[in-house]
Amino acid sequence: MPAKTTKPPRRTLTLRDVSEASGVSEMTVSRVLRNRGDVSTATREKVQAAAKELGYVPNKIAGALASQRVNLVAVIIPSLSNMVFPEVMTGISEVLDETQLQPVVGVTNYKPEREEKVLYEMLSWRPSGVIIAGLEHSDASKKMLAASGIPVVEIMDTDGEAIDAVVGLSHRRAGRKTAEAILKAGYRRIGFLGTKMPLDHRARKRFEGFTEALAKAGVEIADREFYEGGSALAKGREMTQAMLTRTPDLDFLYYSNDMIGAGGLLYCLDKGLDVPGKIGLAGFNGVELLDGLSRKLTTMDACRTEIGREAARIIAQSAEANTDNAGGVRVELNPKLEPGQTLRLR
């Protein structure tokens, strides 16, 4: 048995290996592999054959260091488990697929300190741009973003100060508009059901806009209930039951998202309640997933795919122009209430 040896560092193939295998200089091999500059068809084919034969995969780390270019876009979002962010991702991918850029996602779980860490990690890879959810960030995060020297697009929300570009909608206004529609339909005894998370700023802003619009009409929220964790559908059901038991004379329930709204709807239908006659319901998001429910929930589409697309477009343009910011573009979408079948018509 041989004496104790230090493990040889594992090695992967390099340009040099392809160069030697093909008898072409490293530089020309590099040109072929990147489709840059003119290379004769003969050498091109020789190189490609050698690379494929060896199973060579270029080392982007070295390439990025040398070229000072990294075609990654950092996408920082709070969660992947509710339906909203995967749709944003779809929009982003759709646009970036047409470019050299690639999205890389980081998930914060709605925690500022995690956001800070994720951001730091991603920035340390020197991406070509950042798409980040929300306008609320820790001071350190803001500083990093400002100092990053790359385009930054904050998405989802427009109620607040942006660092660079923003694409989203006013959740305060969304809450207000929903309240107005509910009042106009004649409902007056209104309950609110939402997430407990104080860090879901957008849900908070919708709630604020909602109560504000009610107040203007002299109406106050008659009851409220908050939840945390678990299956949103089940929670919506439970919360609705609890609330209607406690406050039986409610005639409308506003949910902070469609999933709990759907749970509430199922509960009401199971109980044989007259929806939307006796009691109306509304959610928020426009989750396509729920299209198969017996009755279409009143909601407001958060335009998630469109937000993703637009943010990606802004990044792609800035990257192309090689600017160090996104020029402070501001895109505010203005979603309408989709009446569905759980809000009575007047």
Partner DNA sequence: CTGAAAGCGCTAACAC
Partner DNA sequence: GTGTTAGCGCTTTCAG
Residues that bind a second copy (CB under 8 A): 7, 9-13, 54-55, 57-62, 64-65, 68, 70, 80-81, 86-87, 89-90, 93, 102, 104-105, 107, 120-121, 123-126, 143-144, 146-149, 230-237, 259, 262-263, 266, 270, 288-294, 322, 324
**Whole-angstrom distance, CA of residue 23 vs CA of residue 64:** 25
Q: What does the alpha-carbon distance between residue 177 and residue 170 come to, in Å, rounded to a whole number?
A: 11
Could you give the CA distance from residue 30 to residue 15 in angstroms, rounded to a whole number? 7
Backbone angles phi, psi at 73, to 5 degrees: -120, 120
Please report which helix (H) or strand (E) contains residue 147, including its range.
helix 139-147
- Name the residue nearer to a second copy (CB basis): 209 or 261: 261
339 binds DNA (CB under 7 A): no
- Report the nearest approach of DNA to the CB of residue 114 (Å): 22
Minimum CB distance to DNA, residue 40 (Å): 4
Residue 39 tokens read as 């290379």
List the x/- string, 25-54, binding to DNA by CB under 7 A: xxxx-xx-xx-xxxxx-xxx----------
Can you tell me the distance from the alpha carbon of 314 to that of 296, in angstroms, rounded to the nearest whole number? 34
Q: Is 145 in the site for DNA (CB under 7 A)?
A: no
Of the candidate residues 52, 53, 62, 113, the single one contacting DNA (CB under 7 A): 62
Query: Rule CB under 7 A: is residue 66 a binding residue for DNA?
Result: yes
> Which among a second copy, DNA, none contacts residue 80 (Cβ within 5 to 8 A by kind)?
a second copy
Q: Does 147 bind DNA (CB under 7 A)?
A: no
Whole-number Å distance between alpha carbons of 178 and 191:
13
**Cβ 263 to a second copy, closest distance in Å?**
4
Shortest distance in whole angstroms from residue 75 CB to DNA = 23
Binding partner at 141 among a second copy, DNA, none, C-beta below 5 to 8 Å by kind: none
| Residue 217 interface partner, choices DNA, a second copy, none, CB cut-off 5-8 Å depending on type | none
Least Cβ distance, residue 325 to a second copy (angstroms): 10
Q: Which does 120 bind (CB under 5 to 8 A by kind): DNA, a second copy, none?
A: a second copy
Q: Which among a second copy, DNA, none contacts residue 237 (Cβ within 5 to 8 A by kind)?
A: a second copy
Asked if residue 343 lies in contact with residue 276, where contact means CB atoms within 8 angstroms, the answer is yes
Burial status of residue 38 (CB atoms within 10 A of its CB: 0-12, 13-18, 19 or more): exposed
**How many Cβ atoms sit within 10 Å of the Cβ of residue 30?**
19
Complete DSSP assignment for 228-276: -SS-HHHHHHHHHHHHHHH-TT--EEEESSHHHHHHHHHHHHHTT--TT
Residue 20 lies near DNA (rule: CB under 7 A): no
- Closest approach, Cβ 195 to DNA, in A, equals 40
Min dist CB 320 to DNA, Å, is 15
Contact indicator for 328, 152 with CB cutoff of 8 Å: no
Judged by beta carbon distances under 5 to 8 A according to partner kind, the member of a second copy, DNA, none in contact with residue 339 is none
Residues near 26 by beta carbon (within 8 Å), at least 6 away in sequence: 15, 16, 19
- 118 is an interface residue for DNA by CB under 7 A: no
Specify the 3-state DSSP secondary structure of 134: coil
Give bridge partners of residue 300 from the DSSP assignment.
337
At 241, the amino acid letter reads Q
| Interface contacts to DNA, rule CB under 7 A | 11, 14-16, 24-28, 30-31, 33-34, 36-40, 42-44, 58-59, 62-63, 65-69
